[in-house]
Structure 1
Amino acid sequence: MSSDDEVRAAAHAAVDEAVAVLRAGRDKPLDRIGKAAKDFLTEVDLASEAALKAALAKSTPDVGFFGEEGGGADLNTGRVWVADPLDGTINYATGSPLCGVMLGLLEDGVPTLGIIDLPFLGTRVDSGAVQDVDGFDEAIIGMGDAFHQGGGERLDAYLQMTVDVHRKAMRFRCVGAASVLWTWLASGNIQGMVLAHNNPYDVVAGHAIAKASGAVVTDYAGAPLTLSSPGAMAAVPSVHSDLTALARDLAAKT
């Protein structure tokens, strides 16, 4: 089994390969491959995931791999890389810099390592330090795109929480990329974030980084976040309880 330092170095090297794919495809016409309503992927997503998988298979052959586009290993057993090869595909495809590569490591279902690179913002994190505040009215809170909620009462509750956050926080952010929100939280640029889901490729890397940076990472009800949680959120210690209170109806609907 590779040492922790070797595994971390392998992860950074693999992310380098994926970032190169994103940069190379930046100014080229992209075909949009349908996934679901309001969602698509591009050939860059696929090429980036292939680059990650190939690099990690060579450097850490004893670690499994699970990617957003191709799936893969059982997430609950052993060591498994979890990758979002292009987070914020719609942003990327429309020329926005708010996109990134996310790579996390699970050990028996528990996030232990994360790397996020935002290539068009010149930022990479694998740890950080949150910036706490004195109260919710001094906090900047990021919310993930609501379309992940599907429809019905859960969507309504998520949209209502978005309104409540917008009213009560100092500022509100919705950027269309979980990678950006996790990075901003770990870097002290925001104080809380709520995702509309708990997809492992959008959460595992950020979960590990946020915890290492001093954030509280939970589900909507405030319970410890696991792979089976219905949704994910994280915040600085002083803000988390207020965020959980605002998510009470959403937690009930999920």
Structure 2
Amino acid sequence: MLGGLGQLARPDAVTSLRFLSQFVETPATSASAPVDNDTSATGSPLRSTSTTTTTTTTTTTTTSESGLPLPRSRPSYALDCGAGIGRVTKQVLLKAFDHVDLVENCAAFVRQAEEEYLKSEIESGRVGEVRCSGLQNIEFEGTSWEGRFDAIWCQWVLGHLTESDLIAFFQRCMKGLKPGGMIFVKENNARVGIVIDEDDSSMTRSDQIWKEIFERTGLRLLRDESQQGFPSGLFAVKMYALQPM
């Protein structure tokens, strides 16, 4: 759920598509693009903060490389990590990729994705495997997901991983990428350091800490941007486009 803020589904999806369009040919990247407004779709632990506000300022770290080998690489595959019932899959990833697989820790959400929210997409073959697993346990090497993905998308889920588990997860993700594939991260940002949520013990990391983790993991930051269109009073949200060094 969008933290009780279902009205943020559209700006979240539109901004994500615009960010992806810098690396992938996407058919729907404008504010008028059709976005599913099903606000019951899980996938965002948005939290308010009295010390930070969102910003529409865009910051970039660019390279001369073109990013994903699309649209030349067909069919294209993406993985939605911490997918909930598949809101990001339906509203973002399926607009940019031919096929999407999902991994989600909650068995109830997996059932809802398979039996309701993504039923038609599964029947059409556009959504493939839906694994029920925590990210700290997911494996790529030696499985059908080794070398499969053009993109691995992680949104509002990595705060549940400790730093050591997060680094190990990213390193395993590299085994799941095609040559030239990328990892995308979209997460809340603390202004400084780490903010611990008292309810679920999840961590909201600062932009500086995220970038230090990416470097330690062996991920090169190609571009980062701030989420637009969210009200003030929430944690800032940033998107990061990454490739293995």
Regarding TM over 0.5, the answer is: no
TM-score when scaled to structure 2? 0.30
TM-score when scaled to structure 1? 0.29
Higher helix share: 1
Largest Rg, 1 or 2: 1
